[in-house]
């Protein structure tokens, strides 16, 4: 596709359930990022992929959060045993590589944990 695609756009789940959020980056973009944006807040870095490897996972808030990327393309962010504080918009971004400076963002997945 022409841009970064994320699904689902909105997800409502019950506390304790697992959720998977998907990101399909721009074709050819080797670097992929996940950010979390709580209501009215800025963006918190979660994890960075270069190809299929994740050299920077420093932003993952707990071991309930994990992410993978396959084929150097699609990435999945998984949150296990969701908590109410996980409610946020999860944004994915991609870029052609280091030193380009600009990230291209998807529209995000809004997660609501009841």
Partner 1 sequence: AQTVTQSQPEMSVQEAETVTLSCTYDTSESNYYLFWYKQPPSRQMILVIRQEAYKQQNATENRFSVNFQKAAKSFSLKISDSQLGDTAMYFCAFSGRTQGGSEKLVFGKGTKLTVNP
Footprint of partner 1 (CB under 8 A): 31, 33, 35, 41-43, 45, 48, 50, 54-56, 58, 89, 91, 93, 98-99, 101-103, 105-108
For residue 24, the minimal CB distance to partner 1 (Å) is 15
The smaller minimum CB distance to partner 1, of residues 16 and 56, is found at: 56
The smaller minimum CB distance to partner 1, of residues 80 and 105, is found at: 105
What DSSP character marks residue 84? G
The smaller minimum CB distance to partner 1, of residues 54 and 79, is found at: 54
For residue 1, the minimal CB distance to partner 1 (Å) is 14
In whole angstroms, what is the distance from residue 16 CA to residue 19 CA?
A: 10
Is the Cβ–Cβ distance between 106 and 93 less than 8 Å?
yes
For residue 14, give the 3-state DSSP assignment.
Answer: coil
Strands (E), 52-107: 53-56, 65-69, 75-79, 88-95, 104-105
């Amino acid at each position: 596709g022409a841009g970064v695609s994320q699904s689902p756009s909105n997800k409502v789940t019950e506390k304790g359930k697992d959720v998977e959020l998907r990101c399909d980056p721009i074709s050819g973009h080797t670097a992929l990022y996940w950010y979390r944006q709580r209501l009215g807040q800025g963006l918190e870095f979660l994890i960075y992929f270069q190809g299929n490897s994740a050299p920077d996972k420093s932003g993952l808030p707990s071991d309930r959060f994990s992410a993978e990327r396959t084929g150097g393309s699609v990435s999945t962010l998984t949150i296990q045993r969701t908590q109410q504080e996980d409610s946020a918009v999860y944004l994915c971004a991609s870029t052609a590589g280091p030193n380009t400076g600009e990230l291209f963002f998807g529209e995000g997945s809004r997660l609501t944990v009841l």
